[in-house]
Structure 1
Amino acid sequence: MKVFVVLALLVASASAGLLSSPIGAGEPIHPRNLPAVLVQREGVEGRITNGNDASEGQFPYQVGLSFTSSSGGWWCGGSLISNKWLLTAAHCTSGASGVTVYLGATVRTSPKATYSVTSSSFVQHKSYNSVRLSNDISLIQIPAVSLSAYINVIELPKISSSYSTYSGQTAIASGWGLVSDSATAVSSKLQYAKLAVITNSVCAKTYSSLVVTSNTICTATPSATSTCSGDSGGPLALDGVLIGVTSFVSSAGCESGAPAGFVRVTSYLDWIKENSGVSY
């Protein structure tokens, strides 16, 4: 599962010294900001490489997000957490003037419902830092949607889960995108991949403890299976519970074998409740 995005590399120069990789596996970077040389330019920035095709209704909480801005557009993922709120990454909402939300889609271009909202419906974390990749989380409000077998919410973790590292457990990341780095067209079908959660101490050996904090979850990416651009903001789910939001990969590429990074949802349960009313 890959998440390559087509916008310019915004943070590399600012973070090169601060966030250098201890083992030379590339700098941590939001998938949306991967260098264009690594990206297949197909108009959307989506990617889950070496994943599996999802069946209709398998991930009813998955949403597709087509963002617009004065300088162009980009594609991200998100998770429906109530009938009118969804959770995504701050690096997806950052700089956008609006978004079209695709709900209940397995084939990317055939959603069960769509809504278009402006940036006034975004609640981006005020402390989001694009250099340290911290607080990379946003909420988007949409008109109330009717829930069904194809459009449904995902459960937020319980506050008691805040003490769990999830290490050694297998979670599922999902999203749309190219099926390989050499593909010339984005995937039309929703993809998913099973990824093993690793300890933050192992992940920090690649990205440093400045990036990998207690607010982070990391997964291994064996066999070139990873999140990448377009998967940005999408869900990492464990037993039907949303534990992570797709946030960063290595600037060496999503097939580099470096860990994939996610925002840890348990760290933001109070923030979610305060800004949306959705409680755990």
Structure 2
Amino acid sequence: MKTFIVLALAIAAVAAESFEQVHPKDLPQSQKIEGRITNGYPAYEGKAPYTVGLSFNGWWCGGSIIAHDWVLTAAHCTNGASSVTIYYGATWRTNAQFTHSVGSGNFIQNGNYPSQSGNDIALIRTPHVDFWSMVNKVELPSYNDRYNMYDNWWAVACGWGGTYDGSPLPDWLQCVDLQIINNDQCSQVYGHQPEGILCVATPDGKSTCSGDSGGPLVLHDGAKLVGVASWVSSAGCQSGHPSGFTRVTAQLDWIRDNSGVAYY
């Protein structure tokens, strides 16, 4: 019996070590054009007009337009960057309707990042952008929904996340439909997950991946932004392990206090 218990503990330790969390942008870069949203589908033009591409100092992330002059993304994307070029209304990754470049003085990271899990979120102040069918904002959840965990709700994540090996061709915007799971299920894989984390199931290798960091997770029902892509399993995007997002409802006060954007 003692041998069995020791063996079981050893297996559990190995399993726990395998199921760590890693930011998608920090995954090893492939030498092929891959690493975008895995097993998703190509987006039609104008499907996600709130999605922007963010080109930082040597890495690529996604973001969401939440107002005429604000983009929401992940803190691990802005962290250490001196500037960013924002691609608006793109379907081909670098063929945007227009771009803006801003310096790090326009970045506002959550002050609790990275010391507290669930605070991987940042704002980017941008020049004023007019809205139309290809470039538009996504609404945040209202304060009435701030305690809604959205367990079992369906949502869509969109992004490019492509890596290049000297290819002049950009990736087409990809989207994937994902179901939100409760944090107890997520904690069974990674250990305790605080309420500031929102997890999604990734069956059949459907997941966010390298380059999708900071990108949006938007509800099918109501089209509200509920997640900011934060981490995936260190075992890989197609491992079937849950992926994690910063829970937007837990950040409504922070977003309002720093950008003035809020829904009541």
- Coarse TM-score class (shorter-chain normalised): 0.7 to 0.9
Please report the TM-score for the alignment, with normalisation by the length of structure 1: 0.83
Give the C-alpha shift of residue 166 in structure 1: 0.9
Q: Shift of the alpha carbon at 1:80?
A: 0.1
Correspondence 1:40 to 2:30: yes
Q: Which secondary structure state, in structure 2, belongs to the residue aligned with residue 164 of structure 1?
A: coil
Deviation at 1:200, TM superposition (A): 0.2
Which residue identity does 1:158 align to in structure 2? Answer: S
- 1:83 is matched with 68
Identity %: 51
Instruction: Give the corresponding residue for 2:151.
Output: 167
CA distance 1:21–1:188, change in 2 (3 Å): same
For residues 242 and 110 of structure 2, the distance between their equivalents in structure 1, rounded to whole angstroms, comes to 24
CA distance in 1, matches of 2:62, 2:14: 27
**Counterparts of residues 12-91 of structure 1 (less than 5 Å):** 23-34=16-27, 36=28, 39-41=29-31, 47-68=36-57, 73-91=58-76
Instruction: Tell me which amino acid in the other structure corresponds to 1:225.
Output: K
Q: Does the Cα contact within 8 Å between 1:26 and 1:252 map onto a contact in 2?
A: yes
Q: CA RMSD in A?
A: 2.2
Aligned pair count?
A: 247
Letter in 2 for 1:102: Y
* Aligned position for 1:118: 103
Q: TM-score, normalised by structure 2?
A: 0.88
Q: Secondary structure at the match of 1:81?
A: strand
Contact 1:102 1:115 in 2 (8 A): yes
Does 1:201 find its partner at 2:194? no
Counterpart check, 1:243 vs 2:218:
no
Q: Distance in 2 between matches of 1:21 and 1:201?
A: 21
Aligned equivalent of 1:233: 214
C-alpha separation in 1, matches of 2:95 and 2:82: 24
Residues 22 and 207 in structure 1, CA contact (< 8 A), matched pair in contact too: no
**Structure 1 residue 144, shift from structure 2 partner:** 0.1
Q: Which amino acid aligns with 2:152?
A: G
How far did residue 187 of structure 1 move? 5.8
* Structure with the bigger percentage of helix: 2
- For the structure 1 residues 261 and 271, does the alpha-carbon distance in structure 2 shift closer, same or farther, using more than 3 Å as the test? same
Which whole-Å CA distance do the structure 1 matches of 2:119 and 2:159 have between them?
21
State how far apart, in whole Å, the 1-side matches of 2:195 and 2:14 are: 18
Q: Indicate the residue corresponding to 2:201 in structure 1.
A: 220
* Aligned equivalent of 2:10: none
Checking the alignment, whether the CA contact within 8 Å between 2:52 and 2:62 is kept in structure 1 is yes
- Residue 59 of structure 2 aligns to a residue whose secondary structure is strand
Q: For residues 258-273 of structure 1, what are the structure 2 equivalents within 5 Å? A: 258-273=241-256
Shift in Å, 1:244:
0.3
For structure 2, the residue ranges without an aligned partner over 5 or more in a row are: 1-12
Q: Against the structure 1 CA distance between its residues 21 and 194, is the aligned structure 2 distance closer, same or farther, given a 3 Å change threshold?
A: farther
Task: Find the partner of 1:278 among 249, 261, 264.
Answer: 261
Q: Which runs of 4+ in 1 moved over 3 A?
A: 20-25, 183-187
Displacement of 1:134: 3.6
Aligned match of 2:6: none
- Decide which of 237, 244, 248 is 1:254's aligned counterpart: 237
Letter in 1 for 2:30: Q
Distance 1:96 1:46, change over 3 A: farther
CA 1:164–1:241: 2 relative to 1, 3 Å: same
Tell which structure's C-alpha radius of gyration is larger. Answer: 2
Kept after mapping to 1: 8 A contact 2:212/2:229 = yes
Distance 1:96 1:217 in 2: 26
Query: Match of 2:3?
Result: none
Deviates further, 156-165 or 56-65: 156-165
Give the Å deviation of 1:41. 4.0
In the alignment, which residue of structure 2 is the partner of 1:140? 124
Alpha carbons of 1:125 and 1:171: their partners in 2 closer, same or farther (altered >3 Å)? same
Preserved contact between residue 177 and residue 187 of structure 1 (Cα < 8 Å): no
